[in-house]
Amino acid sequence: MESKTDAVLRAKSRVEAFVLRARRVAAHSLSQDAELLRIYSDQGFPMKFYDDGTVLVEWPREEDVESAAARVRPILLSDEPCYYASVIKDLGLLLDENHPERAKLTDRRKLWVARLEPVHRDSDSGAITLMPTALVDGKVKTVNGAVLAFDWLYGDTIHHDPERRSEAQGFSIRIRFMYAVSLVAFVIVQSISLLDLITALSEEGAIAIDKSVFSEDVVVPTGRVQFGVSGLTQIPEGSEVATAAGRVDTGIGRYAVDKSAVTAIGWMIDSEPSVAGR
């Protein structure tokens, strides 16, 4: 049986893992427009109606949603240390039982389960998300919207699961994508909201977790990066290092080597650039 001390240590570790992952999610380009993100999360899309009876639906680029899906995936998986529902439970363990936010965690978890549970539901049990229909072999097929979202994730994007693709038969990739956009946006919105709560709780001293998780670099900068270097050394032409291909690990640094160069310059990274993260 897990001791209370071990349980607290596990809870702290899980919450810290979530902070790192959620900060990476918050830094994604899709997360920058909060208003649009909430529209997607609420299973909506910006639309423009025309007099000819057509409607223009605006949705994000699939590549952007794919990369966002990769960032949120650990938060979706129950066996990951930053799984959302588990973090909610462990955050409750770290909070004083009289803290006003502790009682609200149950509502967060209920909302998560209701939206993310990827199961088929009939009319008696009640749909927890929109229920799209399609005509397959002359019969009406109804599938839970969350199921189609996961079919896009695991049948079209992260994996090429035949069962997922068969399950989505009758629903075009556009329809699967629409529901996936909503699901990914929902996870982003909830993750950032929980991250903000954890940040506030840490700042007020309500929970004791490692402060470094709020400042550790979580994303790689784009474009050119300037490094501090030391130990610049000119390597004689014809030496073993200068005629090698690629990069050679010297034990004290690495040498940038070019076969076509008359000489090569040895270098060692002295410092790394600081990347501002949420």
Residue 45, pLDDT score: 80
**Is residue 50 included in any domain, yes or no?**
yes
Closest CA to 274 of 230, 228, 210: 228
Q: How many domains does one find in the chain?
A: 2
- Do 265 and 209 share a domain, yes or no? no
HSE-up of 45 (CA within 13 Å, CB side)? 18
Q: Which two tokens stand for residue 144?
A: 């839970």
Closest CA to 72 of 16, 119, 26, 128: 26
The contacts of residue 59 (CB under 8 Å, 6+ apart) are 40, 45, 177, 178, 181
Whether pLDDT at 261 is above 50 = no
**Is residue 113 included in any domain, yes or no?**
yes
- Do 193 and 114 share a domain, yes or no? yes
- Do 115 and 242 share a domain, yes or no? no
- Do 188 and 265 share a domain, yes or no? no
Tell me the pLDDT band of 46, cut-offs 50, 70 and 90. Answer: confident
Residue 201, pLDDT score: 97
**Is residue 265 included in any domain, yes or no?**
yes
Please state, for a pLDDT cut of 90, what percent of the chain lies above it. Answer: 47
Tell me the pLDDT band of 254, cut-offs 50, 70 and 90. Answer: very low
Residue 145, pLDDT score: 80
- Do 203 and 266 share a domain, yes or no? no
> 180 vs 23, 26, 99, 121, 240, CA distance in Å?
21, 18, 35, 18, 53
Residue 236, pLDDT score: 57
- Do 18 and 74 share a domain, yes or no? yes
Residue 165, pLDDT score: 86
Residue 31, pLDDT score: 96
- Do 208 and 250 share a domain, yes or no? no
**Is residue 81 included in any domain, yes or no?**
yes
- Do 198 and 257 share a domain, yes or no? no
**Is residue 135 included in any domain, yes or no?**
no
pLDDT tens for each residue of 195-220: 999 999 999 999 999 999 999 999 98
Cβ 128 vs Cβ 146: under 8 Å: yes
**Is residue 156 included in any domain, yes or no?**
no
Cβ 227 vs Cβ 272: under 8 Å: yes
Tell which wins on pLDDT, 180 or 259: 180
Cβ 188 vs Cβ 161: under 8 Å: no
Cβ 189 vs Cβ 37: under 8 Å: yes
**Is residue 102 included in any domain, yes or no?**
yes
Tell me the pLDDT band of 187, cut-offs 50, 70 and 90. Answer: very high
- Do 114 and 238 share a domain, yes or no? no
Provide the 3-class DSSP secondary structure of residue 256: strand
pLDDT tens for each residue of 55-111: 888 889 999 999 999 999 999 999 999 999 999 999 999 999 999 999 999 999 999
C-alpha distance across the termini of the chain, in Å: 37
Q: Which two tokens stand for residue 120?
A: 């088929």
Closest CA to 117 of 67, 125, 165, 15: 125
Q: pTM to 2 decimals?
A: 0.77
pLDDT tens for each residue of 113-153: 888 865 434 333 333 344 566 656 666 667 778 888 889 99
Q: Determine how many CB atoms are found less than 10 A away from the CB of residue 93.
A: 17
Residue span of the structural domain in which 92 resides: 4-119+182-214
- Do 69 and 198 share a domain, yes or no? yes
- Do 205 and 233 share a domain, yes or no? no
Residue 180, pLDDT score: 93
**Is residue 42 included in any domain, yes or no?**
yes
